Amino acid sequence: MIPWLVQPHRTEPKILEWAERYSERAYLDIVRLRNHTAYALTVTDRSRPDEAKKKSLFAVPHAHEPAGTAACMNILGELLDGCDLAGNPTALDREAMLASTLLTFIPDANPEGRSRAPVEMWDGSRFTNDEFLKYAFGIDGATGERFKRVDRWSAREERPSRIGIVYERIDETTYVEPNRDWGSSFFRLAHRLMDRWPYDQFIDLHQTEFENSPYNCMIILPVSWRTLPEPICAYSRAWADDITRAWGEMDGASPHQPEVLGYTGQQRAYFEERWGRLHSLCPIITTEIQNNNPRTPPDLQRQLQETALRISIERISASA
Ligand SMILES: [Zn+2]
């Protein structure tokens, strides 16, 4: 099995080692919190002008969804070291890719939350989905039920008996949901990077439980789909179809066809407000890979995320 690098004490030294060793092929961006640092590592041949390159952003906002982190770390090894984390030579045409593309990875946008996870991988053997979700979102101190999912909350007003690992503590008392609040390390990095480089595509790597569903992977299209410019929709649809097709050829994969994010109410409002501008800048799609279910073991979770990364890199490289 490929080494599973998802906890900050394992990802951080590796990212810093790559940034230092491959200074001609990497840019490092950081957001420093009190006890943790979130990293974005951009790989490209820096001796060639960035303007002409096709650009892609890959990010993992959620601490309870570690397979995207494992996949980003493995692909970064292939692109920079020329071999995966187990030492197998890469099949990627990496010199051509580094010359013609600029690829930014945010392998773990919430190391503070991730460091509070009770396990490194959710394989479905130890926790029911209800127990898993009480780790993900926390436990309400008053009711003993799963804590609410909001963009931010304050420890001055709330007393959860367990703090969900999805939340990122950004100061003494404030916790934010990375994918839903601009104060998160995730949005701070994404905004900084998207202001610097006009990305051609952005893939947000997520996981969900697929409870009572025969499927274990799918691409989600933006909630604002009907209002997006036609070229962005056409690009996103073809890209999503390519990934879904590649999943269909993998052992153990049961891909659902791509679908528009179906949120309503407050959750929809978060996405429309916080993501609206970004969705109009470039095609943005989301992976959802099954989490916490024996049907999709951790190594398969990683492989499914990695296939989405690989297809995305190959597509953009071929168009460069
Ligand atoms: Zn997620």
β-bridge pairing 54-59 and 101-106? parallel
Spacing, Cα 61 to ligand 1 middle (Å): 7
Spacing, Cα 179 to ligand 1 middle (Å): 8
Angle, nearest 10°, between helix axes 8-21 and 67-81?
20
Check residue 34 and give its pLDDT. 85
In this predicted model, what pLDDT tens digit does every residue of 108-137 receive, in sequence order? 999 999 999 999 999 999 999 999 999 999
Confidence check: pLDDT of 267 > 90: no
CATH number of 8-114+179-319: 3.40.630.10
Spacing, Cα 312 to ligand 1 middle (Å): 19
> Under 8 Å CB-to-CB from 241, ≥6 apart: which residues?
258
C-alpha 305: how far from chain center: 9
Check residue 271 and give its pLDDT. 86
* Two structure tokens written together for 52: 């002409």
Confidence check: pLDDT of 320 > 90: no
Spacing, Cα 207 to ligand 1 middle (Å): 5
Question: Is the separation of the CB atoms in 186 and 179 below 8 Å?
Answer: yes
Spacing, Cα 100 to ligand 1 middle (Å): 30
Spacing, Cα 206 to ligand 1 middle (Å): 4
- Least confident span in 28-32, 83-87, 239-243, 278-282: 278-282
In this predicted model, what pLDDT tens digit does every residue of 18-56 receive, in sequence order? 999 999 999 999 999 988 999 999 999 999 999 999 999
Spacing, Cα 62 to ligand 1 middle (Å): 5
Spacing, Cα 151 to ligand 1 middle (Å): 13
C-alpha 107: how far from chain center: 7
Where does the pLDDT of residue 262 fall: very low under 50, low under 70, confident under 90, or very high at 90 and above?
confident
Domain limits, the chain: 8-114+179-319, 129-176
Spacing, Cα 178 to ligand 1 middle (Å): 9
- Cα of first residue to Cα of last residue in the chain, in angstroms, is 33
In this predicted model, what pLDDT tens digit does every residue of 150-184 receive, in sequence order? 999 999 999 999 999 999 999 999 999 999 999 99
Give the mean model confidence (pLDDT) for residues 93-114: 97
